[in-house]
Amino acid sequence: MNFPDWMLDFAHPWTRFALIVVIALAATGIFRRLVQALLRRFATRHPMGASIVARANAPLEAILPLAMLLLAFRAAPDEPARMVDGLEHILGVALIAACTWFVVRCIGALEAAVSRFNPIDLADNLRARRLQTQVRVLSRTAMVVTVVLGIGVGLMTFPAVRQFGASLLASAGLAGLAVGLAAKPVLGNLIAGIQIALTQPIRIDDVVIVEGEWGRVEEISSTYVVVRIWDERRLIVPLQYFIENPFQNWTRTSSQILGSVMLWFDYGLPLDPLRAELKRLCEQAPEWDQRVCVLQVVDSNERAMQLRALVSSADSGRSWDLRCKVREGLIAFVRREYSQYLPRLRGELESEVRAADAATPPFASRAASARR
């Protein structure tokens, strides 16, 4: 039985292989349009999902054709399959890389969406800082795990690497111990990041005292924390530090804080006018939140008494400004109204010397001068 030429050409393995590839690419185009339409419809109904769709679009454009081409190569006849075996392996590795890229972009888009819908530039931002801290730390950890898994899966597609892995597992005693010791800082920071995300001893924009430095938590990565110090320096601290060492967190449950101003004055200074002046200074200061305004004697010695003015503010930044205003105002008030009660140690010594000279007879002082 004689077949037409075009049927004979179609029976050729390479012709069938080319036709399979063309069909796969055509199906890719149709499937891609269908997926894009569904994603656009999803993005219009869910604003948070719009950013995820926008970021995941680029790796998705690579995943669809790679997957269809890989299926076409798997369905190829025997002769072309032997010729394109190396190309099929390359497509498989590229598909693994594209899938890893897709997952990383989705995680980053989710983090960005949560940060955008929960801003921290508000007066009451405790919930937003809690969410941003959890999402940032967990997303960084998930990205690292995804990349490591993607690299591992990609390497396992090479036969030589699989044999190498099997030999390592067969003799994994000392090698595993050495790798574990070498990876201890990395794994420790990774576990510390998960602990910080769940228990939250620190959060984004928290005010902390670390290594004697006052600053705000600016960034929490998968391995370290960036603390922005008040003079615009940056303190880089490993994540494990906040799990293993004590530190101060001024905004753990609330940003409200009490500030104290310590002053020394003479015992003769009346306290009621000073309390009235403190009240007036607080009422005129926009930094005061009207919770606490107290003046107390907290210490004394043989020369003077120590006063503490305790004032409250909405956050640590306002507290610092209010303390400076109260300190300057109280000192100016005492200098203006009760200057005689300022600590003047040198004045007291001079008066004692004069009193001793007055008690000395005149002839004794002249005799002392003659001896000199």
List, for residues 242-262, the tens digit of each pLDDT value: 888 888 888 877 778 888 899
Length of the chain: 372
- pLDDT given at position 8: 40
- What's phi and psi for 206, nearest 5 deg? -70, 145
- pLDDT given at position 223: 81
Strands (E) in 163-280, as ranges, are 207-210, 213-220, 224-229, 234-238, 248-249, 257-265
Low-confidence ranges of the chain (pLDDT < 50): 1-10, 168-169, 171-177, 179, 346-349, 363-372
Identify whether the C-beta of residue 131 lies closer than 8 Å to the C-beta of residue 116.
no
Distance CA(263)–CA(276), nearest Å, equals: 16
DSSP state of 204: T
Distance CA(238)–CA(248), nearest Å, equals: 16
Identify whether the C-beta of residue 248 lies closer than 8 Å to the C-beta of residue 203.
no
> For 286-301, how does the pLDDT look when each residue is reduced to its tens digit (9 = 90+)?
989 888 999 999 998 8
List of residues 6+ apart from 297 with CB closer than 8 A: 271, 305, 306, 307, 308
- Distances in Å between the alpha carbon of 36 and those of 58, 64, 287, 352? 11, 12, 52, 94
Helix ranges (H only) for 157-202 are 159-170, 173-182, 184-199
Which helix (DSSP H) or strand (DSSP E) does residue 5 occupy? helix 5-11
